[in-house]
Amino acid sequence: MNWKFWQRNKSAEPKKKKSKAREWTDAIIFAVVAATIIRVFFIEAYTIPSGSMEKSLLVGDFLFVSKVNYGARIPMTPVAFPFAHHTMPITGTKAFWDGVQWKYRRLPGLQDIKRNDVVVFNFPEGDTVALENQNASYYDLVRGAGWKTVNSQYTIGSRPVDKRENYIKRCIAIAGDVVSMKNGIANVNGKDEPLKDTGMMPYRIQFSSTDFNPQVLADLGINTAEIQRTEDPQAYIVNASAEIITEVKKLDFVKSAALSAASSTEVESGGIFPHDPNRPWNRDNFGPIKVPAKGWTVQIDSNTMPLYYRAIRTYEGNKVEQKGKVWYINDKEATSYTFKLNYYWMMGDNRHNSLDSRYWGFVPEDHIVGKALFIWMSFDGEGSWFSKIRWSRIFKGIH
């Protein structure tokens, strides 16, 4: 047979048409791959689950988080079920396989993390999880009940960095900064950083009588369901911003309104970072603490190790031991350590309703997911689905 003739006739044969099932399969595979690429490298949707960022972000806000601003993080656990973070929605089993782990790498970004950026990151203490009580930190459970009790009562699991729970907080201090807090006012590098209109703190309001209309406070933006009574029947504790309190003070039935921060001697239930008995700090009074920076060398002693032990051991992957008064890193006696990663100090805007760096410490750079950009939808959870929409928050930028 003539080869050219055969080729001509073969090319003239009609191509076999794909079946409907094959077309749908190809379309679904393409959509999944395209959506995964967008989600991993460009932008991802995120929901606000708690009130820790009020009043900047509200429960029911749906955000878009940019992976481009800080540089997209290359997946560290590449074998995972699409669109499931760490747990399968129906079976409750793991949605990833940690048999393959890639080193931390990040694509070039448009900017570095700046102070006051609203950042999404993986929960640093989420490496170990009590599966039956995932809302609580495993380490808090151990500090409260002891290792033996917790490990006998719960099924304990582990998660790689990129499969830990997603948190959203405001970056208060960046690598190299010195952060502290006194009487509820944060201080960074010696400069006080009081909450602006975005944040909430408890205030004690002294009324001129017990006869007042709570709706007046609600109209100013105070959640009246959260108002707390005090020993004085004419005084209440409310959660509000400084700007709201300025308006409250103008009311004729208000005698005074002042910040109600914990005293420096008040003991914090459960303790705060670094959970050191020599540092009796609380959520409104702590520090100073220097946030580790890549290339910064810290002297190792009994004063610094409570602050930096977890960063050196867990986040940077070193073997750390103490023998007597001598510290060993990777089986070598060590009097100093030079950090390999940058770290950040994250706090919620709703300062007395936020589990943040005050309780679990630094956020390593390899835990950073992205920068919160804007709210694309928001529901207040009351009424019909249409009336639930907070129209004023749609496409609102995050500052």
Question: CA-CA distance, 274 to 272, in Å (whole number)?
Answer: 6
Alpha-carbon distance of 76 to 317, in angstroms, equals 15
Q: Which helix (H) or strand (E) holds 232?
A: none
Percent of the chain clearing pLDDT 90 (strictly above): 51
Which fold is adopted by the domain 201-259? Alpha-Beta Plaits (3.30.70)
Model confidence pTM above 0.85:
yes
Model pLDDT, residue 9: 55
pLDDT value at position 12?
54
- Indicate whether 3 pLDDT > 80: no
The HSE-up count of residue 228 (CA atoms within 13 Å, CB side) is 10
> Each residue of 158-211: pLDDT tens digit?
999 999 999 999 999 999 999 999 999 999 999 998 887 778 889 999 988 777
pLDDT score, position 330: 96
CB 46 within 8 A of CB 62: yes
Mean pLDDT over each residue of the chain, to the nearest integer: 88
Each domain of the chain, given as residue ranges in start order, spans 201-259
* 226 pLDDT tier (thresholds 50, 70, 90): confident
